[in-house]
A and B are shown apart, each in its own frame.
Chain A
Amino acid sequence: MSEFDDRLIADPPRKARVSQFRPVVWLVIPLIAILFQVYVPRFVQSLSYLELPLLVTVYFSLMRRQPIAGGLIGAAIGLAQDSLSQHPLGVFGIVMTLVGYFAASVSLRFDVENLALRFMLSFLFFLFHRFFFWLISRSLLGLEMDIELAQMVILGFLNAVVAIPLFFILDRLRTESR
């Protein structure tokens, strides 16, 4: 076996890496994201468009590359969001479960450290999140919610823009990849 082959085996391609985080990161980062959403828009109204819990869910699911783990992460963060909202428990929970699951599934096929792909996935998952939230609110809760496509696309774009530096910061919290 050549030296080149050895290096390939020792250092798996980025596409197949699974990131590891300290347990405290799993707890603190979602908490900060939820606190941000609860607290910051009170002072900076314009930041209410930021869906940090969603971005954190997408990031952890992408990095974890395990659909089950992604679904569980999404469910936990979504239920925490539900607990602090006026909606019944489960609305955000179901949506975020789906987001986490599909984000982790997507990560099995793509190199999730690519910036363009991260941007695109953040944008798409924002639209996915909004659409399913609207669908569940309308079909299960009977709420008459309007969906404004143009506004949704703009907000998705803004969230995707924020996702790039946020993911970069979160990358620094990784302990190892295997």
Chain B
Amino acid sequence: METFLSRYRNLSVLLLLIVAQLLLLAYQVKSNQDVRLIRVWAVTAVTPFARLVEWVRDGTGGLISDYILLRDVRNENKALREELGRTRVENYFLKAELAAADRVKALQDAQVKMPSKTLIASVIGTGTGSNSRVVYINRGSTAGIKRSMAVITPEGIVGKVIAAYPTASLVMLVTEQNFAAGVISQKNGVRGILRGQGTSVLTVEQILNESKVEQGEWFYTTGEDRIFPRGLPVGQVKLARPGRNFMEVQIQPSGLASGIDEVLVVIDGVHGEIPPPGTPPSPGVQILPAPPKAGPAEGAAATDPASPDTAAATHPAAQPPSPAAAEQRTDADRLKEKYRRIGEAQNHVYGAGRRSPDFTKAPPPPGPPPAQNPAAGQPGATTTAPAQPPAAPAAKPKPDTPGATERSKPPVGTIPPGRP
């Protein structure tokens, strides 16, 4: 045996190396577990260098461009061209900075507007192997990243985290061959399984030939894969034709369309709705600015629990009414304010006594708002503490009384039956 090993020493060592790695491979495939320690060491060893290179690139990028690029321009054309070149380069960098700022702003906007809790991360490198479709992001397990978290941009889904290391995470892009996610078409609600192909387009599998999928139609995530929250845009149909068993559907991914320098990692996903056809495919929600001031009696609604704003605050997730919300007055609010002032002028307490105030008399000029119920401004308090008691049962209207018609109006703060 010893003679055999010494005679075939090279071959023995080769076999030993191969068998050892085969066993390592078999262990990982069989147990579906990774040898995490080796990867952590490798990533932890490499990412500081990647960060250093990125830092150096950031620092020297301007210098190289200013010097080398402008030297070429100077050689070509004298002073005028030099000036033009410098301006162009500056313009280029400003545009680049603007674009970067826009990207970050868009991400931050999307982060704020999205119901899911997300974390902004930057891409710091790609995976090894020339056909690799994985990237490294600069957030790791110390930042709360975990395996199988969704990675998105405001334009659509990007991929999912397949490994989280302390200083970085590995993200499998949607274009990787092993990638899969549940998707649904926006217009016709056709469900399928999104798969990466190793190319720039994706396919949707398991769609019956009888299903209706149109070119240009958007696909969204279904949330059934438990990775991507429902309602995130995936991409537009590039090709849809009947296949042998199932329909052949190709999708142009929207999340990778404008590059992936910065991404959002979904830390805590909240399922959304598939937007109706015709709405822009963005996970963000457009919020209109507040309307202009409507009338003199502003501010009352902010403290009035019966107003729509305060009513909204009864929702557990809602916030206390803000001054901006107070501006959003309705006709009902103004009418209620008018009745309040009439009641105060005639020392009438709504709900007490059988007489109703004379609504034909003009109300006094607006004064300070009524003393606020201390609990009224607090979220949730309005559900149990109505500030105004319900109106008294209307007294029988006298036909000759001018206020009879007014009396038949619904009491303030209550919704007449039969109306939404």
Contacts and interface: CB of A to CB of B under 8 A. Distances in A.
A86 B123 CA distance: 16
- Counting chain A residues whose Cβ lies within 8 A of the other chain, the interface size class is 35 or more
Interface residues of B, number: 46
Interface in A62-100: 67-68, 71-72, 75, 79-94, 97-98
Contact of B18 (A50, A82, A85, A97): A97
Nearest to A93: B21
Contacts of A101: 10, 14
A90 B172 contact: no
A84 B53 contact: no
B198 A89 contact: no
Given A35-B50, A68-B13, A88 B128 contact: no
Interface string B31-75: 000110011011101100110011000000000000000000000
B98 interface: no
B318 interface: no
B111 to A, nearest CB: 23
A39 B55 CA distance: 12
Contacts of A85: 127-129, 132, 134
Nearest to B176: A86
Contacts, number: 136
A51 B132 CA distance: 12
Interface string A129-167: 000010000001101111000000001000000000000
A38 B198 CA distance: 18
Interface of A: 31, 34-35, 37-39, 41-42, 48-51, 53, 67-68, 71-72, 75, 79-94, 97-98, 101, 105, 133, 140-141, 143-146, 155
18 contacts: A31-B45, A31-B46, A34-B46, A37-B126, A39-B53, A42-B123, A42-B124, A51-B130, A80-B42, A84-B42, A84-B43, A85-B127, A85-B128, A86-B163, A90-B24, A91-B25, A101-B10, A140-B25
